Chain A
Amino acid sequence: MAVRRYHLTFPKELVTEPVIYYLGKDFNVITNIRRANVDQDGGWVDLEIEGDEEEIERAVESLKRKGVGVDPIERQVIE
């Protein structure tokens, strides 16, 4: 089992969708929100995802396909 921490950025269009609920339903992962701020213009969620490494990868891919910005909790580390 692996644990990964992500900073997710939600565009306006996705705010009304239960994106994180589906993550736990469609993939064999456990999600745990630590901090978030979402309003009608979009928002962000700091999320922990626990599961097999490949399963986490698949979950992350699905988030990206939906248009969610997926970064590590550290944001951008390439300078």
Chain B
Amino acid sequence: MRRIKALRCRECGSEYPIEPLHVCEYCFGPLEVEYDYDALSKLVTHESIAKGPTSLWRYYDLLPVDSPLHECVDLGGGFTPLVEATRLGEKLGVRRLYIKNDTVNPTWSFKDRVVSVAVTKAKEFGFDTVACASTGNLANSLAAHAAKVGMRCFVFVPADIELSKVVGSLVYGPQLVAVEGNYDEVNRLCVEVASRFGWAFVNINIRPYYSEGSKTIALEVLEQLNWKAPEHIVVPVASGSLLTKVWKGIKECYRIGLIESVRTKVHGAQPSGCAPVVNAFKLGASMPKPVKPQTIVKSLAIGNPADGIYALRAIRESGGVAEEVTDEEVVEAIKLLAETEGIWAETAGGVTIAVLKKLIRQGIIKRDELTVALVTGSGIKTSEVVCESLREPIRIQPRLKAFEEALQKLQL
């Protein structure tokens, strides 16, 4: 049974074959994978999914790949815990709060979901080289997955980045290319490299397939809630792809009969120093205006987001809102999550939790409503942002009395 129909332009609806294409030749709109939902309705059931592997590939049927399951590139990404956050919920004043803990992925972020799908598709298309431009999570994940399947891997970065920042990619053995140019020049070069060389640039020419991997986080949440859609989901937004696909995933589950209703409000979370989608939402604009990012939240610092317009549409269609938080609120939220739930999030997770807090305070999320917050990356990668605001250690002499005295002073 053919599950995948075609690529379709999101703007004019033109159809294209399943090939490494990403832009519509007519209107320059982005292309998106379209499935045969009648076929999927017959193929996919709660039971068929439950029989699948314990990784993101348990949603194989809803992903745009043709390789048999055992050939799909798999580092074990996905199938992460959905944790009932009672202590955090108590602090924030809600009773049914869950954290989707994607910090525990193989390279410690949700990017393992998109990259697994992208590298699988790149292999299917016959590429021997994968590439990306990234100083963080995407490069970490791509380099690791390329290593797993023995593909050549190029990672492009602006030349002024400190090498210590990219160790988490270099350890897997990719070729790093440090480009001497300003940000816009590096950005443009990468697009030109992607079109000139026969390489799979995962977030450029493989993007329609790559981005579908994001859906799996939403599918897991639904399955973990026994196929019940939450009332709210809070999603961090950079390029806008994750949020767009969370919404698409929920709608697809409804369409093929996996959930009974679509009632989830999808809320977008951005740092104030880079909030083009939030700005557009609050202004009632149809399209985000580019901004120059200035924030500690490097993983969400995309000033001109590729899918910003679609994220905006998804937020509005679902009845959600977009909200921003300051860098200080982000640091506070990282600590709050760690101290109440034992989960150490990177700055993007801090944005999610800080926005969650704000939405509860504004009464948008109510006390008894089923709410999920996506924590998409591990704090271990951005430890520098919290290290100055942690509890001071106490220093004592190696005597029991000294410790007793110190303890008394602390009044813990």
Interface residues, chain A, with chain B CB atoms under 8 Å away: 5, 7, 9, 34-35, 37, 42, 44, 46, 48, 69-79
- Find chain B residues with CB under 8 A from A71 CB: 184, 187-188, 290, 304
- Find chain A residues with CB under 8 A from B302 CB: 76, 79
- Find chain A residues with CB under 8 A from B26 CB: 34
Q: Are A34 and B28 in contact (CB under 8 A)?
A: yes
The verdict on A77 contacting B191 (CB below 8 Å), with A5-B28, A46-B28, A71-B184 known, is: yes
Q: Which of B218-244 contact A (CB under 8 A)?
A: 238-239
Q: Are B203 and A77 in contact (CB under 8 A)?
A: yes
Name B240's closest neighbour in chain A (CB-CB).
Answer: A75
Interface centre among B132, B134, B303, B304 (most CB of A within 10 A): B304
Q: Are B133 and A75 in contact (CB under 8 A)?
A: no
The verdict on A44 contacting B190 (CB below 8 Å), with A74-B23, A75-B306 known, is: no
Q: How many A-B residue pairs have CB under 8 A?
A: 83
Name B205's closest neighbour in chain A (CB-CB).
Answer: A74
The verdict on A79 contacting B28 (CB below 8 Å), with A71-B184, A71-B304 known, is: no
Q: Which of B151-208 contact A (CB under 8 A)?
A: 156, 158, 183-184, 186-188, 190-191, 194, 201, 203-204, 207
Interface size counted on chain B using CB atoms at 8 A: 42
Alpha-carbon separation in the docked complex, A42 to B288 (Å): 12
Name B283's closest neighbour in chain A (CB-CB).
Answer: A41
Q: Are B11 and A78 in contact (CB under 8 A)?
A: no
- Find chain A residues with CB under 8 A from B11 CB: 35
Q: Are B190 and A42 in contact (CB under 8 A)?
A: no
- Residue from A35, A75, A79 in contact with B304 in the complex, judged by beta carbons closer than 8 Å: A75
Q: 9 extra interchain contacts, Cβ-Cβ under 8 A, other than A46-B27, A77-B133, A78-B190?
A: A9-B289, A35-B27, A37-B286, A73-B28, A75-B305, A77-B191, A78-B134, A79-B238, A79-B302
- Find chain B residues with CB under 8 A from A42 CB: 289
Least Cβ distance of B280 to chain A in Å?
Answer: 12
8 interchain pairs (CB within 8 A)?
A: A48-B28, A73-B28, A74-B191, A76-B303, A77-B306, A78-B158, A78-B187, A79-B138
Q: Does B347 contact A (CB under 8 A)?
A: no
Alpha-carbon separation in the docked complex, A71 to B204 (Å): 14
Name A35's closest neighbour in chain B (CB-CB).
Answer: B27
Q: Are A44 and B184 in contact (CB under 8 A)?
A: no
Q: Are A76 and B305 in contact (CB under 8 A)?
A: yes
- Find chain B residues with CB under 8 A from A72 CB: 187-188, 191
Name A3's closest neighbour in chain B (CB-CB).
Answer: B195
The verdict on A74 contacting B22 (CB below 8 Å), with A79-B133, A79-B136, A79-B203 known, is: yes
- Find chain A residues with CB under 8 A from B216 CB: none
- Residue from B137, B286, B306 in contact with A76 in the complex, judged by beta carbons closer than 8 Å: B306
- Find chain B residues with CB under 8 A from A79 CB: 132-139, 203, 238-239, 299, 302
Q: Does B29 contact A (CB under 8 A)?
A: yes
Least Cβ distance of B203 to chain A in Å?
Answer: 6
Name A34's closest neighbour in chain B (CB-CB).
Answer: B28
Alpha-carbon separation in the docked complex, A46 to B11 (Å): 13
- Find chain A residues with CB under 8 A from B136 CB: 79
- Find chain B residues with CB under 8 A from A46 CB: 27-28
Least Cβ distance of B333 to chain A in Å?
Answer: 22
- Find chain B residues with CB under 8 A from A7 CB: 304
Alpha-carbon separation in the docked complex, A73 to B204 (Å): 10
Alpha-carbon separation in the docked complex, A7 to B137 (Å): 26
- Residue from A34, A77, A78 in contact with B135 in the complex, judged by beta carbons closer than 8 Å: A78
Alpha-carbon separation in the docked complex, A21 to B367 (Å): 57
Q: Are A77 and B190 in contact (CB under 8 A)?
A: yes
Least Cβ distance of A18 to chain B in Å?
Answer: 21
- Find chain A residues with CB under 8 A from B29 CB: 35
